[in-house]
Amino acid sequence: MKDIGPDYIDYWQSVCEAQRRLTTSFGIRVQDGFCSAVNAVDVGRSLAFGRLYQIPVRLEILPNYLRVIIDDHLLNSPNSDLMDVLNGKKSFRDALAASTTEPRRSRESRLRREERSGTGLLRQMPGDAVPGGESF
């Protein structure tokens, strides 16, 4: 999911079952010419933090936590324009213009929707225990 501000787009990491009771969410904020990490505390205002990375960005220079956020976002939002913006194939202004024509959803409504739909559930990995004590 993403939130749109007047001069930025926040692309959020999905919320899994283990994070439901946590009050902090993480994402990546994209602005004209650069990106950075972003967090939101207790469904409040989001704040960018950390180093700024110039767009187009080489993913291998990003810290692991930002790459995990990007991977998670893309896994859960396959139609997202995040990679196109980060690698310069789509301009930030075009992404912002396209995003403002989409319905804007707040983080709070997104969390409620994920909870109702069950899309925020933990993903099982090979070797994880499943009901009945078996692993897959």
What integer pLDDT is reported at residue 63 of this predicted model?
96
**Contact indicator for 89, 28 with CB cutoff of 8 Å:** no
Domain that holds residue 83: 2-117
In this structure, what token pair is assigned to residue 128? 């994880």
Q: Please indicate, yes or no, if residue 52 is contained in any of the structural domains.
A: yes
At residue 34, what is the residue type?
F
Q: Please indicate, yes or no, if residue 111 is contained in any of the structural domains.
A: yes
| Model pTM score | 0.69
What integer pLDDT is reported at residue 106 of this predicted model?
47
Find, among 53, 11, 19, 48, the residue nearest to 35 by Cα: 53
Place of tokens 């099982």: 124
What integer pLDDT is reported at residue 31 of this predicted model?
96
What is the chain's pLDDT, residue by residue, as a tens digit (136 residues)? 888 888 999 999 886 655 566 667 899 999 999 999 999 876 668 899 999 999 999 999 999 999 999 999 999 999 999 999 999 999 999 999 987 665 444 445 555 555 555 544 333 333 333 344 343 3
Q: Helix, strand or coil for residue 44?
A: coil
Q: Please indicate, yes or no, if residue 8 is contained in any of the structural domains.
A: yes
Q: How many domains does the chain have?
A: 1
What integer pLDDT is reported at residue 115 of this predicted model?
53
* DSSP secondary structure letters along 59-119: GGGS-HHHHHHHHHHHHH-TT--HHHHHTTSS-HHHHHHHHHTSPP--HHHHHHHHHHHTT
What integer pLDDT is reported at residue 134 of this predicted model?
40
Q: Please indicate, yes or no, if residue 62 is contained in any of the structural domains.
A: yes
What's the rounded Cα separation, in Å, for the pair 127 and 130? Answer: 9
Q: Please indicate, yes or no, if residue 128 is contained in any of the structural domains.
A: no
What integer pLDDT is reported at residue 22 of this predicted model?
62
What's the rounded Cα separation, in Å, for the pair 113 and 110? Answer: 5
